Chain A
Amino acid sequence: MEALLYQLFSGLANGIIYGSVALALVMVYQATHHINFAQGEMATFSTFIAWALMQAGWSYWAAFFITVAGSFAGGLLVQRIVLRPMEMAPVLTNVIVFIGLLLIFNALSGMLFDHAIKSFASPFPKNSWFATKYFSAHQLGSAGVLLLVLGALFAFFRYTRVGLAMRAAAQNPDSAKLVGIRVSWMLGLGWGLAAAIGAVAGMMIAPIVFLDPNMMGGILLYGFAGALLGGIDTPLGAVIGGLVVGVLENLLGAYVIGTDLKLTVALVLIVGTLTLRPDGLFGRKVVSRV
């Protein structure tokens, strides 16, 4: 029982991380209806920047906020420069460009910060008052951070004019244009937000898995699985999906299939969700007109 509980909780802790990656994916999907394959590498690159800032003597939180702001600007720039000319292009073109971005960001991390594995500091000291038997301080802390991000996003989309405009631009670009929303900039904003969330996720993951250019490879896949399971157009669903994936992965890994097939769990989840329930557990059914 003790062991089961332990596995369950450590699954939840992983799930929090997958949830935050899933959240970033959902942000781009909502804004552009594209699945960003470069999300993981972008987040890794952001994390490297935070690491470099901390190496230069900055305090954790200063580095954290500068990185988040920088990532927002970076994501916006990537959309403006690289993806804007491709807005009307077919899906294949977009996927190829995403793969191109993935390779470039991966190479940039490797070139600027080399391939050696680095440790990344956690902002939550080991013996904090909120550390418990089942959750370490870092796990609880990153859960708190994720909840904050989720709450802020909800408030942003629900209560601000820009958030409303972004939703409108995603749902019906033509009508949104007619009422004076700059749809193209809204897409850019979506990319910026996704890059910022990715940066937060990266900085929360790095203390656990250590920092190297390929840090996000497997995690991105779990993020995908979580986002699809929860429904790729619902932020809350994506977070819940991430949690479910984390728990499933840990329990199956510990009791059923062993740790060396964990990525296959994600594969099965992705293919299973897409074929059996393509809208996810919480997603809305999309009906398209011929």
Chain B
Amino acid sequence: MKPFNRKWIWLGGALLLIVLLVLPFLVKNYRVFQFNMVLVYAVAILGLNILTGFNGQISLGHGAFYALGAYTAAILMDKLGVPYGATLPVAFVVCFGFGFLVGFPALRLAGHYLALATFALALAIPQLLKHKQIEGITGGVQGIVLTKPEPPFSFRFLDQPFSADRWLYFFSVAVTALMFLMAWNLLRGRVGRALIAVRDHPIAATAMGINLPVFKSLTFGMSAAITGVAGALGAIVVAFVSPDSFTISLSIFLLVGVVVGGLASIPGAIFGGIFIQFVPNIADQFSKSAPAAIYGILLIGFMYLLPTGVMGGVYKSWTKLRARTAE
């Protein structure tokens, strides 16, 4: 087996960069918006995957953290006039704190019970957001309408103007890259191994000197923080938040994204994002209920046939191919 040539990695990276830079100018504005949503979902799925895929804590309520991030960004921008770029770190910190707090009762809940508690959280969140007492801040049922940030400079490229959506595309790419880099750095070393150990055998992990409560609640915080950043980014990209965009379906979609992309796979989150953005659009053309049915069938199908998701499948066939060519 030949070690991977460094030259090829640089070449591949450069090619990817060029594609990423040119892509938004090759398609219509609406498509660019959809690409932005793919990135937003990818970051949210990444957050959920850290918790569920790597640490084995099942959350059916990550839509709640997404909503919290989105509302944090929207309220900061709308009420306090904070520039949109500055809302992301705030969303990160707020969601980290909230996730850490949710992580505490979660320590006592394992498996199904945690799924159930987070399921309840996801069901309750739209009601909480609509509540009268905080209507002044959250905008109640109507939500908050934002304005899309203007690009800092304007030019035309390939006959396409540098529109707000295209500017947001580059902004989202940067945020997504940052989040993935952060997650990768967090998970590849000692911390990542500890998380997986806690998932696979908590008792043995404790015996190896891993502080279970600290690791579990910090993972919850980290996962919530990344999903919260996705929510904030989503609020900026869509330029609108309302309680009814954050129903239980959102949480379930995120779980679908994790499963399709691949549990415990970082690049899998991108596949997950592409999947939950584009598959419902295609399925919607057949019937109103089709997306849900397809999601359901795929969830069960993946669990049977490809439990490691698309990324796991790609990886498996890749190693098989290499083994064959090496012979």
Q: Which residues of A does B touch, CB under 8 Å?
A: 34-35, 37, 82, 85-86, 89, 91-97, 99-108, 110-111, 115, 213, 217-218, 221, 224-225, 228, 258, 260-264, 266-267, 270-271, 274-275, 278, 290
CB <8 Å contact, B127 and A274: no
Measured between C-beta atoms, what is the minimum distance from B142 to chain A in Å? 15
Q: Which residues of B does A touch, CB under 8 Å?
A: 52, 56, 58, 60, 105, 108-113, 115-117, 119-121, 123-124, 127-128, 130-132, 203, 248, 252, 255, 259, 263, 287-293, 295-300, 303-304, 307
CB <8 Å contact, A37 and B115: yes
CB <8 Å contact, B60 and A224: no
- Which 9 residue pairs are nearest across A and B when measured between Cβ atoms? A103-B296, A100-B299, A107-B293, A104-B296, A110-B289, A91-B111, A107-B292, A100-B300, A107-B289
Which residue, of A111, A264, A267, A278, has the highest number of chain B Cβ atoms within 10 A? Answer: A267
Measured between C-beta atoms, what is the minimum distance from B301 to chain A in Å? 8
**Across-interface contacts of B203 in A (CB, < 8 A):** 290
User: Could you write out 7 A-B pairs with CB less than 8 Å apart?
Assistant: A91-B110, A93-B307, A100-B298, A104-B297, A106-B292, A107-B291, A263-B120
CB <8 Å contact, B105 and A102: no
Measured between C-beta atoms, what is the minimum distance from B291 to chain A in Å? 8
Measured between C-beta atoms, what is the minimum distance from A197 to chain B in Å? 19
CB <8 Å contact, A275 and B108: yes
Measured between C-beta atoms, what is the minimum distance from B82 to chain A in Å? 29
The CA of A104 and the CA of B291, in the complex, are separated in Å by 10
- Of the residues A35, A102, A260, contact of B296 by C-beta under 8 Å: A102
The CA of A107 and the CA of B294, in the complex, are separated in Å by 9
- Of the residues B58, B110, B117, B295, contact of A270 by C-beta under 8 Å: B117
Measured between C-beta atoms, what is the minimum distance from B238 to chain A in Å? 24
The CA of A104 and the CA of B290, in the complex, are separated in Å by 9
The CA of A105 and the CA of B296, in the complex, are separated in Å by 9
- Of the residues B60, B109, B127, B132, contact of A95 by C-beta under 8 Å: B60
Measured between C-beta atoms, what is the minimum distance from A76 to chain B in Å? 18
CB <8 Å contact, B132 and A258: yes
Q: A91-B111, A107-B296 are in contact. Are A271 and B105 (CB under 8 A)?
A: yes
**Across-interface contacts of A93 in B (CB, < 8 A):** 303, 307
- Of the residues A91, A105, A267, contact of B120 by C-beta under 8 Å: A267
CB <8 Å contact, B112 and A260: no
CB <8 Å contact, B58 and A95: yes
- Of the residues B105, B130, B299, B307, contact of A103 by C-beta under 8 Å: B299
CB <8 Å contact, A103 and B293: yes
**Across-interface contacts of A264 in B (CB, < 8 A):** 124, 127-128
Given contacts A37-B119, A92-B52, A275-B109, 15 further A-B contacts (CB under 8 A): A85-B304, A93-B307, A97-B299, A100-B303, A101-B296, A103-B299, A106-B289, A107-B292, A221-B123, A260-B130, A270-B120, A271-B105, A274-B108, A274-B116, A278-B109
Which residue, of A89, A95, A262, A263, has the highest number of chain B Cβ atoms within 10 A? Answer: A95
CB <8 Å contact, B117 and A274: yes
The CA of A86 and the CA of B56, in the complex, are separated in Å by 17
Measured between C-beta atoms, what is the minimum distance from A283 to chain B in Å? 13
**Across-interface contacts of B113 in A (CB, < 8 A):** 35, 274, 278
The CA of A34 and the CA of B113, in the complex, are separated in Å by 10
The CA of A82 and the CA of B304, in the complex, are separated in Å by 10
CB <8 Å contact, A271 and B123: no
**Across-interface contacts of B132 in A (CB, < 8 A):** 258, 260
CB <8 Å contact, A221 and B292: no
The CA of A34 and the CA of B293, in the complex, are separated in Å by 23
CB <8 Å contact, A92 and B56: yes
